[in-house]
Structures are given as structure tokens and as C-alpha cells.
Amino acid sequence: MDTNKAKCDERGTGTLPGCCAPLAFPYVPVQKNDPERYSQQDALQAGTLFPGLNLPFHAQMKTKFPAVNTALSELMALDFAIDELGLYLTTHPEDTEVLNLYWSYIKLGREGREAYEKQYGPILQTDLTPGSFKWLDDPWPWDLEEDEK
Amino acid sequence: MFVYEKKLQYPVKIKNPNPKLAMAIISQYGGPDGELGASLRYLSQRYSMPYPELKGLLTDIGTEELGHLEMVGTIVHQLTRDLSEEQIREAGFDTYFVDHTTGVFPQFASGYPWSASTMQVTGDTIADLTEDLAAEQKARVTYDNILRISDDPDVSDVIKFLRAREIVHFQRFGETKRTR
């Protein structure tokens, strides 16, 4: 008992599950560094950037994401990859390979954003829209346009 | 501070109205394991978290859940547009309609209004993170069940995306228990 306690004190606090608490904590294996990844379009379709975390309910069900390369779907895919990598880096901050990828996606995301805004209008209320105030223009994200009904 | 982006995280384009399906899916808007509870749970648990990666993860996932809330609201909105009185009665949508017309109200599939009693903020790191792991699995099951009863590929496509996110979030919450 005492040796155990000494070991715990040595290791300090904040390690979970630590030597003091090997039981009664749920265990989730940590994803390995620089894991296999999908392209950003495939990632948006799968709902995750990582094949290792793609565990579908109905494997036989075909996804039918409109694979047309509109400025919106490209921006969604880039922003999705950025969000997914941001979460990954929170628990893997030392993975420099993925950090570089994260930054390159952020650069692409900025370009995608400009392309989208030129074609469809502002994403942020503070985006500059020369000529008039376009923020309130339809469609809003939950609207269907006439040809989509 | 939050800033609104005028786009969804994933496209939602439902061609065929289906009020009966909407009444089931609304549970992921304001139900016991829905996206509203998820975002409030995570965004509220942040304040008592001792480590930066926990503050970061709860902020980012809590924010993503707000985006999912918007997607679920969009599904419900698009499933209940242009309804005739006959469709409303036949689908059993009249009980919802009498209170909310076709507005999107945060409620369980059973009609019970969203309740903070479905979530917890204990102020204890381990208890909160363990609740978060369970919450992701409960939301995943709800999406499984929606996939079981949905016969609309436009709806199932979006639900599959949301379901996949629960699995990733579960993984990240689990990993925080070993990053220190």
C-alpha cells in the first residue's frame, strides 16, 4: 500500500488513468500520430477525416452527397477538414505533420471563402459587399430554392 | 464571443415533406440526447475545467454542436413545408401543429419540451468528461434509431454525417484522459 502511494506521489497529479486509479475509468485508446486520412471531399461525405474512425451504421447504405464541385461544397469540405484537424490537434499537439496539414488547409480555406463570397454573397455579416448591404439576401442556410423543391 | 457563419456545416436539401418523420427527428433538436443539450452541456462545463486542452475541446465541440442544431432545425423545417390540412391530420402532426404551426420548437419526440434536467455540469473533471462520453453514445443511438425509421435518402444522408461526428467526439473526449 505504502509503496503504491509513494509511486503515486512521484508521478504527481493529472495522469489518468494513473497508478492510483487503474480501475473505474473508461478507456479509449489514443489515435496514433499522423493517421491515415481521406481527401477533404471524401471526409465531408463520411463525416470524419479519418478512415479509422469511420464506423457506419448501415455499411450498405450509399451516401449521396451531391458531389458537384460548387464553391459552397468545396468550402464546406475545407472548413470541415479544418474543424476535424483542430479537434485532433487538441489531443495530439505534438504531431507536426498534421499541424502543417492544418495550416495548409487553413490557407486553402481562405481562398475557398473568397471564391464563395464572390459568387454567392457574404458568409459573415462583416464581409465587405461593395454596392449594397447583401447580408439579408436569401437564401438563408435553411432555405430551399425553387429548383430544389 | 460568437460569430455567425451564413452556411451549414453539411448540406441539407430535403425534397419531400414528411411531417411524421419530422416529429421523430425533432428529438435531436430539443430531445433528451439532442444537439441543444449537447452544446449547452459542453459550453457550460468549460468553466470548471483545469487544463487548456479540456477548455479547447469543450469550446470547439460545443460550438460544432450548435452547428448541428442548425442542421437538425433545417431538416425539420424542410420536412414540414407546404403541408395541406389533410397531410397534417394523416401524419398525426396536428398535435404539434396546434401549438407551434410549422415553427421549430425544441422538444422530445414525445412532445415534452427541452429540459436542462437531461444534462449535468458537476464541476468535477472526471464526472463531466465521463458524462460527455455517454452523451456522445446516446446521441449516436438516437441517430441509429432515426436511420432505422427514415425512408428518405435525403434525410438519412444528413443523419449519417451527424452520427459520424458523435463517434469522433467520443474519441477526442476519451483521449483527453491521457493527454496529461
* DSSP designation for B118: G
Asked if A26 and A84 sit in the same domain, the reply is no
| CATH number assigned to the domain covering B19-176 | 1.20.1260.10
Are A19 and A44 members of one domain? no
Residues of A in contact with B42 (CB under 8 A): none
Q: What angle do CA B115, B121, B127 make, to 5 degrees?
A: 125
- Inside any domain, residue A85: yes
Count of other CB atoms within 10 angstroms of residue A70: 13
Higher-pLDDT residue of A12, A105: A105
B114-126 residue pLDDT tens: 999 999 999 999 9
User: Which of B6, B60, B177 comes nearest A123 by C-beta?
Assistant: B6
3-state secondary structure (DSSP) of residue B107: strand
Mean pLDDT across the stretch A124-130?
Answer: 93
Q: Is residue A115 assigned to a domain?
A: yes
Query: Which residues, other chains included, contact B173 with Cβ-Cβ below 8 Å and sequence gap of 6+?
Result: A28, B57, B61, B129, B132, B133, B136
The torsion of the CA quartet B22, B108, B156, B100, rounded to 10 degrees, works out to: 20
Say what the pLDDT of residue B165 is: 98
Q: Decide if A10 is inside a domain.
A: yes
| Ranges of each domain in chain B | 19-176
Report the pLDDT value the prediction gives residue A16, as an integer from 0 to 100: 52
Domain range holding A9?
A: 1-30
* CB contact (8 A) between residue B160 and residue A124: no
pTM, to two decimals: 0.90
Residues A100 and A124 in one domain: yes
A77 and A16, same structural domain? no
- What is the value of ipTM here, to two decimals? 0.92
Alpha helices in chain B (DSSP H): 19-25, 27-30, 35-45, 52-79, 85-90, 94-100, 125-149, 153-176
Instruction: Work out the end-to-end distance of chain A between its first and last CA atoms, rounded to an integer number of angstroms.
Output: 70
Q: Hey, are the CB atoms on A76 and B8 less than 8 Å from each other?
A: yes
State whether B168 and A31 contact (CB < 8 Å): no
Residues from chain B contacting residue A125 (CB–CB below 8 Å): 4, 6
Looking at the fold, whether A93 and A81 belong to one and the same domain comes out as yes
Using 50, 70 and 90 to split pLDDT, how confident is the model at A128? very high
Of B13, B78, B147, the CB nearest to A58: B147
Q: Are residues A114 and A95 in the same domain?
A: yes
Q: Is residue A42 part of a domain?
A: yes
Phi, psi of B107 (to 5 degrees): -145, 165
Q: Are residues A67 and A109 in the same domain?
A: yes
